[in-house]
């Protein structure tokens, strides 16, 4: 008959206590850093409706009263204020067209799938009564119709129709033999759609 072995308490390893303390300190630091770091605020969305325009930055960019910046969807007018870039042909005309369209009056903003570009500007359609500034800039030949980004197909169709009218009438950028000459719109073909990407990742400021 075998004899029961006497109970022997487990020996305490001297290195265990410092290891547990270090682990607890590390966990506390992680918890504190997460607790002390505020969550980034959600991007503010503008509601659809009327807004006052504080200034016209260039043909396709507005600053609203209150400081919000608006970038017109579906257009890319020639540059006039881009850092380290010369003023491009038809850029001043596009900026003046936008100023005349607004003429110190409130505009109505509406939006589409993408709400912000990579610079944090609000991507919008800009209306004055029933006239759409985005479309009128294209019709005047002051920008190509930029349809490579995801926004409503009916708007793309409207913009393409306005561009055909401008081309046929040889207005603005279409008045030269080379066709469109300004902005980054020449690299964003007017008649090619893409299912991904957006004005947030392409185009000039």
Domain borders along the chain are 49-187
At residue 161, does pLDDT exceed 70?
yes
pLDDT confidence band for 44 (50 / 70 / 90): confident
Longest Cα pair distance anywhere in the chain, in angstroms? 112
**Backbone torsion region of residue 3, taken as left when φ is above 0, otherwise alpha when ψ lies between -120 and 50, otherwise beta:** beta
pLDDT of residue 187: 39
Q: What is the pTM of this model?
A: 0.70
The DSSP call for residue 116 is B
Per CATH, the number for 49-187 is: 2.40.50.90
d(CA 124, CA 113): 10
Percentage of the chain beyond pLDDT 70 is: 66
pLDDT of residue 100: 98
Comparing C-alpha atoms, which of 10, 7, 181, 163 is closest to residue 75? 163
User: Which range, 2-6, 7-11, 145-149, is most confident?
Assistant: 145-149
- Enzyme catalytic residues: 71, 79, 121
d(CA 169, CA 163): 10
pLDDT confidence band for 118 (50 / 70 / 90): very high
What is the token pair recorded at 111? Answer: 């939006």
At residue 136, does pLDDT exceed 70?
yes
Q: Is residue 127 classed exposed, middle or buried when 0-12, 13-18 and 19+ CB atoms within 10 A define those classes? A: middle
Kind plus residue range of the DSSP H or E element containing 13? none
Residues 188-195 have a mean pLDDT of 42
3-state secondary structure 120-141: CCEEEEEEECCEEHHHHHHHCC
């Amino acid at each position: 008959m075998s004899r029961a072995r006497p109970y022997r308490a487990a020996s305490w390893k001297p290195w265990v206590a410092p290891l547990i303390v270090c682990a607890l300190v590390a966990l506390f630091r992680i918890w504190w850093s997460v607790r002390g770091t505020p969550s980034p605020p959600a991007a503010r969305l503008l509601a659809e409706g009327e807004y006052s325009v504080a200034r016209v930055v260039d043909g396709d960019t507005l600053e609203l009263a209150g400081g919000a910046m608006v970038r017109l969807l579906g257009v890319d007018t020639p540059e006039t204020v881009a850092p380290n870039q010369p003023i491009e042909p038809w850029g001043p005309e596009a900026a003046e067209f936008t100023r005349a369209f607004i003429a110190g009056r409130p505009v109505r903003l509406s939006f589409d799938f993408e709400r912000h570009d990579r610079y944090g500007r609000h991507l919008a359609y800009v209306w004055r009564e029933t006239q759409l500034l985005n479309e009128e800039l294209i019709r005047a030949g002051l920008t190509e119709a930029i349809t490579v980004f995801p926004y409503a197909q009916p708007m793309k169709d409207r913009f393409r129709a306005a561009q055909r009218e401008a081309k046929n009438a040889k207005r603005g950028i279409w008045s030269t033999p080379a066709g469109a000459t300004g902005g980054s719109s020449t690299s964003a073909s007017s008649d090619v759609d893409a299912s991904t990407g957006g004005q947030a990742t392409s185009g000039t400021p």
